[in-house]
């Protein structure tokens, strides 16, 4: 049988196929132009529905399918192009940051929601698309919620536009209510193809979920000879730790399989990885309730038989390069089983093939913004019940599966039913900046699916005003409309420039501030901004020896002025390295992939800045502002770089307390993060974010002159 015949047979076997005609009729011919479709991951809705629609109606010029993550957009486009036997970028394409494969002939396009939002600022009524499909709507990301609002506005202005909202969970009635008269009351459901899943919970709360997850994985590998394993971890560092520990153990028994090109930089060995052979550890049989089918191991020790399948261990998270992410979807060698350690990226956005076992730590990492203090923190939270249901469901796609929950059933029963929408946790300042740029003059009364607290809205407006990004809209006779209860707002000249940059508004302001100091400082600030805009520049480790080695290796880049100049030193050295950049990164425990991604960001931001310069020359007749004077002239180049960052993050200033150990910041008492190169405590510091662990720690910290704060006003 040919490959295309196999593909067609697979397509007809998908759960979506039996309701193909119903979907086409309802979406293309319903008087309501918004349709909600519910179907679990693996039902075929993301790949098949766009194909059904363009095949049914030749006049459809383009369907854009939004995705919350770039890996999903790329992998879906690859699959659909393969199914249609066409080259990627022709009939089927994708658009993600720094990469696009589309053409004038593209009729199905997968794109990240962030890309579609930026396009909407130029084409607010979506004239380039006949149909927009919002996929993974249940995730309720900020970008998805924003797109809902933009599409609701566009539906009033573009009578030809149709919208499909696709969700993996049944809690989809809120989408119907939101679109009101535009939406069909009937929600189309695709029956899933789910095999039975056995659920196992721990008998008691575990002290170290990473160790327990490793124990579960190794025991599964010992007791069952087939079936891939998917492990959920909250973040990249935990993934790297678990991957390294499992690899280390498999290597001892000669069953580790390394596919060509697998590289997550220098391995970060799990602290205590050798303790896997301690005899006093709990066995899987005694650890989990209702586990009569698993033979108890002798303590925590797992003697993997040498005739066992080879084991390939793969990380999977958003910041992993696309080439590494794609390995999760590729076929593996015979007699090789996979252990995939992932964040919630593997929860619903993509279907990881051949998973039979899921090991779930029960946690997720999110950034939470506190509008009362104006600070953000990265926190690790328990998952919701809905999220856990999605995770465990990965195990029952192709056969009966098993899910090992690394928490008690009582813990599960007390979890929140649904995830809190991201719009409730985020800083609304950049959200409102985008809304105003879209042409909506009163973001406070803007209708969200889930309405954020009014205080958070007000705080966002105050922050945008202080940053100088917005102004009161003037009437035709030049009078401010402040007399209204909610004044109409528009972007200021600065705000219009800030929205050009696809980065945090604070960082855009830093770049624009550098403009007054000339091109040299601009390039240096953009280099720092590029590193701040990507995660994972440093190769982290919880292993004490490796951590000390990495600190010693990177010491030559450290600056007494703080972390921002340290980043600048790393950036300069990386750009100047002309030989083997990979080897150079390994030497200094730096992420080659992270720095290469930063290079892409740098190029994009410099291009936008150069465009800004052309506009500035036309409007002001000069490339830079008036020559700096006063305290500016006393600054060296490094001071100027820090000052530019300060201009964007003027709210993130902390003063040393009288105890000379802690600082008083906007959110209260805090300390410099131990990973900072600042080992002395300056009187005043600038920081980029606060992370809450055992204490409130400032990350990416630099010393500042308190007089600079007055100069930013």
CA nearest 67: which of 116, 107, 102? 116
Domain 197-422 has CATH 3.20.20.70: no
Residues 692 and 368 sit within 8 Å (Cβ to Cβ): no
Residues 151 and 126 sit within 8 Å (Cβ to Cβ): yes
| Tokens at 555, concatenated | 């010491």
Query: 3-190: which CATH number, 3.30.830.10, 3.10.129.10, 3.30.2320.80, 3.40.50.300?
Result: 3.40.50.300
CA nearest 438: which of 66, 148, 181? 148
Cα 336 to the chain's mean position, in Å? 30
Rounded CA gap, 605 and 500, in Å?
Answer: 9
Q: What are the backbone angles phi and psi of residue 669, rounded to the nearest 5°?
A: -70, 140
List, by residue range, all CATH 3.40.50.300 domains of the chain.
3-190, 197-422
Residue with tokens 């994708």: 94
CA nearest 286: which of 216, 359, 380? 216
CA-based end-to-end distance of the chain: 71
Per-residue pLDDT at 321: 72
pLDDT of 116 above 70 = yes
The whole-number average pLDDT for the span 224-253 is 90
> At a CB cut-off of 8 Å and minimum separation 6, what does 671 contact?
661, 662, 663, 695, 696, 697, 698
pLDDT of 280 above 50 = no
Residue with tokens 């939002």: 117
Per-residue pLDDT at 260: 45
Per-residue pLDDT at 476: 54
Per-residue pLDDT at 297: 31
Residues 473 and 489 sit within 8 Å (Cβ to Cβ): yes
Per-residue pLDDT at 277: 28
Rounded CA gap, 606 and 688, in Å?
Answer: 22
Please tell me the CATH code under which domain 427-498 is placed.
1.10.10
Per-residue pLDDT at 263: 32
Beta bridge partners of 381: 364
Q: What does the DSSP assignment read for 304-333?
A: --TTSPEEEEEEE-TTS-HHHHGGGTS---
pLDDT of 639 above 80 = yes
Per-residue pLDDT at 225: 77
pLDDT of 377 above 90 = no
Rounded CA gap, 466 and 460, in Å?
Answer: 10
Per-residue pLDDT at 287: 56
pTM: 0.82
Q: What are the backbone angles phi and psi of residue 413, rounded to the nearest 5°?
A: -65, -25
Residues 165 and 140 sit within 8 Å (Cβ to Cβ): no
Per-residue pLDDT at 682: 96
Confidence of residue 171 (pLDDT cuts 50, 70, 90): confident
Per-residue pLDDT at 293: 33
The whole-number average pLDDT for the span 458-463 is 92
The whole-number average pLDDT for the span 247-273 is 53
List, by residue range, all CATH 1.10.10 domains of the chain.
427-498
pLDDT of 284 above 90 = no
Per-residue pLDDT at 622: 44
The whole-number average pLDDT for the span 97-116 is 96
The chain-wide mean pLDDT, for the chain, equals: 86
Per-residue pLDDT at 480: 55
Q: What percent of the chain has pLDDT over 70?
A: 87
Residue with tokens 């910290």: 701
| Tokens at 401, concatenated | 């599966």
pLDDT in tens, 26-62: 999 999 999 999 988 778 999 999 999 999 999 999 9
> At a CB cut-off of 8 Å and minimum separation 6, what does 682 contact?
656, 703, 704
Q: What are the backbone angles phi and psi of residue 325, rounded to the nearest 5°?
A: -60, -40
Among the residue ranges 11-25, 82-96, 331-345, the one predicted with the least confidence is 331-345
Residue with tokens 């009161």: 472
Per-residue pLDDT at 412: 96
Residues 585 and 264 sit within 8 Å (Cβ to Cβ): no
Residue with tokens 């939004």: 66
Residues 542 and 241 sit within 8 Å (Cβ to Cβ): yes
Per-residue pLDDT at 281: 29
Q: What are the backbone angles phi and psi of residue 534, rounded to the nearest 5°?
A: -125, 150
pLDDT of 295 above 70 = no
| Tokens at 668, concatenated | 């209260």
CA nearest 389: which of 425, 362, 414? 362
Confidence of residue 546 (pLDDT cuts 50, 70, 90): confident
Rounded CA gap, 587 and 570, in Å?
Answer: 13
pLDDT of 482 above 60 = no
Rounded CA gap, 132 and 63, in Å?
Answer: 6
Q: What is the CA radius of gyration of the chain?
A: 27
């Amino acid at each position: 049988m040919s490959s295309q015949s196999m593909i067609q047979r697979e397509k007809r076997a998908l759960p979506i196929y039996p309701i193909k005609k119903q979907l086409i009729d309802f979406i293309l011919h319903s008087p309501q132009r918004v349709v909600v479709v519910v179907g679990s991951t693996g039902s075929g809705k993301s790949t098949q529905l766009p194909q059904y629609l363009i095949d049914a109606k030749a006049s459809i010029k383009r369907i854009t399918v939004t995705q919350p993550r770039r890996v999903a957009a790329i992998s879906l486009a690859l699959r659909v192009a393969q199914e249609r036997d066409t080259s990627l970028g022709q009939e089927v394409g994708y658009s993600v940051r720094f990469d696009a494969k589309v053409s004038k002939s593209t009729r199905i396009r997968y794109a990240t929601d962030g890309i579609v939002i930026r396009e909407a600022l130029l084409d607010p009524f979506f004239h380039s698309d006949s149909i927009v499909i919002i996929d993974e709507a249940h995730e309720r990301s900020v970008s998805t919620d924003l797109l809902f609002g933009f599409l609701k506005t566009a539906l009033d202005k573009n009578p030809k536009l149709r919208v499909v909202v696709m969700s993996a969970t049944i809690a989809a009635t809120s989408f119907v209510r939101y679109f009101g008269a535009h939406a069909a009351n009937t929600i189309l459901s695709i029956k899933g193809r789910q095999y039975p899943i056995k659920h196992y919970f721990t008998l008691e709360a575990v002290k170290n979920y990473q160790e327990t997850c490793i124990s579960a994985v190794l025991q599964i590998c010992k007791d069952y000879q087939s079936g891939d394993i998917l492990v959920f971890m909250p973040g990249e560092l935990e993934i790297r730790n678990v991957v390294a520990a499992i690899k280390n153990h498999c290597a001892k028994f000669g069953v580790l399989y390394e596919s060509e090109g697998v590289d997550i930089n220098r391995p970060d060995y799990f602290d205590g990885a050798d303790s896997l052979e301690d005899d006093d550890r709990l066995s899987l049989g005694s650890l989990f309730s209702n586990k009569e089918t698993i033979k108890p191991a002798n303590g925590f020790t797992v003697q993997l038989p040498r005739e066992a399948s080879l084991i390939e261990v793969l990380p999977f998270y958003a910041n992993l390069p696309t080439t590494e992410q794609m390995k999760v979807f590729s076929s593996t060698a015979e007699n090789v089983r996979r252990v995939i350690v992932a964040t919630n990226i593997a929860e619903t956005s993509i279907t990881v093939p051949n998973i039979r076992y899921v090991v779930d730590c029960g946690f997720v990492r999110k950034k939470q913004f506190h509008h009362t203090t104006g600070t953000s923190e990265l926190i690790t939270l328990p998952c919701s019940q809905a999220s856990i249901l999605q995770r465990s469901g990965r195990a029952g796609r192709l056969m009966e599966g098993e899910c090992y929950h690394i928490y008690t059933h009582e813990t599960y029963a007390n979890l929140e039913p649904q995830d809190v929408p991201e719009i409730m946790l985020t800083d609304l300042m950049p959200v409102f900046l985008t809304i105003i740029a879209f042409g909506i003059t009163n973001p406070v009364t803007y209708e969200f699916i889930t309405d954020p607290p009014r205080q958070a809205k007000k705080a966002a407006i105050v922050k945008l005003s202080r940053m100088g990004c917005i102004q009161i809209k003037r009437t035709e006779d030049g009078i401010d409309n402040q007399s209204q209860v909610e004044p109409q707002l528009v972007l200021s000249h600065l705000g219009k420039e800030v929205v050009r940059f696809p980065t945090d508004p604070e960082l855009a302001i830093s770049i624009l501030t550098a403009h007054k100091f000339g091109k040299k400082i601009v390039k240096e600030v953009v280099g720092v901004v590029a590193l701040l805009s990507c995660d994972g520049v440093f190769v982290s480790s919880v292993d004490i020896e490796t951590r000390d080695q990495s600190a010693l290796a990177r010491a030559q880049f450290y600056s007494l002025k703080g972390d921002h100049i340290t980043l600048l030193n790393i950036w300069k050295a990386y750009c100047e390295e002309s030989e083997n950049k990979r080897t150079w990164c390994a030497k200094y425990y730096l992420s080659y992939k992270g720095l290469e991604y930063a290079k892409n960001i740098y190029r994009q931001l410099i291009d936008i800045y150069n465009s800004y310069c052309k506009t500035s020359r036309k409007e002001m007749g000069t490339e830079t502002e008036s020559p700096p004077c006063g305290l500016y002239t006393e600054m060296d180049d490094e001071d100027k770089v820090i000052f530019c960052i300060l201009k964007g993050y003027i709210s993130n200033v902390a003063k040393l307390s009288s105890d000379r150990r802690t600082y008083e910041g906007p959110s209260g008492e805090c300390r410099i993060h131990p990973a900072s190169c600042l080992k002395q405590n300056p009187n005043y510091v600038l920081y980029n974010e606060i992370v809450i662990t055992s204490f409130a720690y400032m990350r990416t910290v630099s010393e500042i002159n308190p007089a600079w704060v007055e100069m930013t006003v």
